[in-house]
Amino acid sequence: MKFVDEYRQAAPVHALLAEIRRTVKRPWVLMEICGGQTHAILRYGLDQLLPPEIELVHGPGCPVCVTPLEQVDKALAIAALPGVTFTSYGDMLRVPGSGRDLFSVRAAGGDVRVVYSPLDAIHLAQANPDRQIVFFAIGFETTAPANAMSVLQAERLELTNFSLLVSHVRVPPAIHAILGAPGNRVEGFLAAGHVCAVMGYHEYPPIAERYHVPVVVTGFEPVDLLRGVLATVRQLEAGRETR
Amino acid sequence: MCLGVPGQVMEIRQVDGLSMATVDFGGTRRDVCLAYVPEAKVGDFVVVHVGFAISIVSEAEARETRELLEEIASFPEA
């Protein structure tokens, strides 16, 4: 796949690892924000390939993991209502609420459907005028434009059987909460490229200045992540004397 | 849901007032909404997230990054 395969090549991965090993002089704790980054790190064993001085702490950037319990419980209650078709991104189906999860609501006869895009939920509403289609609108900044478009589209199509259960969060407040917490050990962040495709970078320089932490935006392939680690440790190694 | 994936725009059409495209991801094709990248053309590569293109991949930036990668790959191994 173009624009993907070249970021998975072994040669640049090993060259970046070598350069990171040469650069690191003392231990550093880095956090990657996004679940997609964590997945790539673990899948390619990057945490094991990096020198032991670098500790990767996995961040709260998975909306599935940080969706509040009460929102999941609301989802379960709504999904169990007769006449409701409850639609959700697939990852949410296994997230437990206080008692069970959406998968078990489906097993008990609830109409729970996985959608890839919020527009799929709109299509369901168009095709099933006798049912109330509810979409579980979760996510960080990246899904917000897509979730919002379903609202605009429902209005444009004059749908009366489409609604959303919303549970949206943003990355910068999460970073502030982590860095401001007593006992915080995180010294650098790998921020998520797709969040920045939506939001730009403007929220990160104030964070970097206030807490004196580098924030490096990366993609999701091994070369992207290692290039991000290298940029982060270069800043940390260069900045340590001036702290 | 976790990723932005690059794919190539193969054709563009209007559906219910939205600009929709067939996007090719290395052989797999999906319908993608282009509402947030109205300037995207057939042949462009877009980054897709939950069925929406969220940015267009700049060939110039991609080429610069590729050249940087080649330079990195030529670093001596420790």
- Is A136 contained in some domain? yes
Terminal Cα-to-Cα distance of chain B (whole angstroms): 37
Size of the A and B interface in Cβ pairs below 8 Å = 108
Picking from A6, A142, A143, the nearest residue to B66 by CB comes out as A6
Residue with tokens 């709504």: A78
Taking alpha carbons only, the member of A220, A175, A172 closest to residue A194 is: A220
Q: Which of residues 73-132 of A touch B (CB under 8 A)?
A: 89-91, 116-120
Q: Is residue A126 part of a domain?
A: yes
How distant is the Cα of A139 from the closest Cα of chain B, in angstroms?
A: 9
CATH number at residue B35: 2.30.30.140
If you average pLDDT over residues B34-40, what whole number do you get? 97
What's the predicted TM-score (pTM) here?
A: 0.86
Please say if the pLDDT value at position B63 is more than 60. Answer: yes
* A101: in domain: yes
**CB pairs under 8 A, 24+ apart, for A4-7?**
A4/A221, A4/B5, A4/B6, A4/B26, A6/A223, A6/B66, A6/B69, A7/A219, A7/A221, A7/A222, A7/A223, A7/A224, A7/B69
In a domain, B54, yes or no: yes
Task: Render A113-135 in DSSP notation, one character per residue.
Answer: EE-SSHHHHHHHHHH-TTSEEEE
CATH of the domain at A113: 3.40.50.11740
Classify residue A73: in a domain, yes or no: yes
What does the pLDDT read at residue B77?
Answer: 56
Q: Which residues of chain A have a pLDDT value below 50?
A: 241-243
B19: domain range?
5-73
CB within 8 Å: A220 and B33: no
Which residues in B lie closer than 8 A to residue A137 (C-beta atoms)? none
Q: Does residue B19 form part of some domain?
A: yes
Tally of domains in chain A:
1
From chain B, pick out residues whose CB is under 8 angstroms from the CB of A22.
78
Question: Is B12 within the bounds of a domain?
Answer: yes
Residue B21 in any domain: the answer is: yes
Q: How far is A61 from chain B (nearest CA, A)?
A: 9
Q: What percent of chain B has pLDDT over 90?
A: 62
What does the CA dihedral A127, A128, A129, A132 come to, rounded to 10 degrees?
Answer: -130
Looking at CA atoms only, how far is residue B18 from chain A in angstroms? 8
Q: Which of B50, B70, B78 sits opposite A143 (nearest CB)?
A: B50
Choose the most confident range, by mean pLDDT, from A221-225, B33-37, B46-50: B33-37
Q: Distance from A18 to chain B by nearest Cα, in Å?
A: 5
Asked whether residue A139 is assigned to any structural domain, the reply reads: yes
Local confidence band at B76 (pLDDT 50, 70, 90 cut-offs): low
Of A14, A19, A91, nearest to B1 by CB-CB distance is: A91
Distance in Å, alpha carbon of B30 to nearest chain A alpha carbon = 11
Q: Is residue A83 part of a domain?
A: yes
A221 lies in some domain: no
What's the token pair of residue A225?
Answer: 């992540």
> Does a structural domain hold residue B78?
no
In a domain, A34, yes or no: no
Chain A residues close to B49, C-beta within 8 Å: 142-143, 146, 194
Domains held by chain B: number: 1
Domain holding A125, by residue range, is: 65-168
Distance CA B49, CA A190 (A): 19
Candidates B16, B50, B75; nearest CB to A157:
B16
Q: What residues contact residue A56 under an 8 Å CB cut-off, 6+ apart?
A: A30, A31, A32, A41, A46, A47, A50
- Report pLDDT for B12: 98
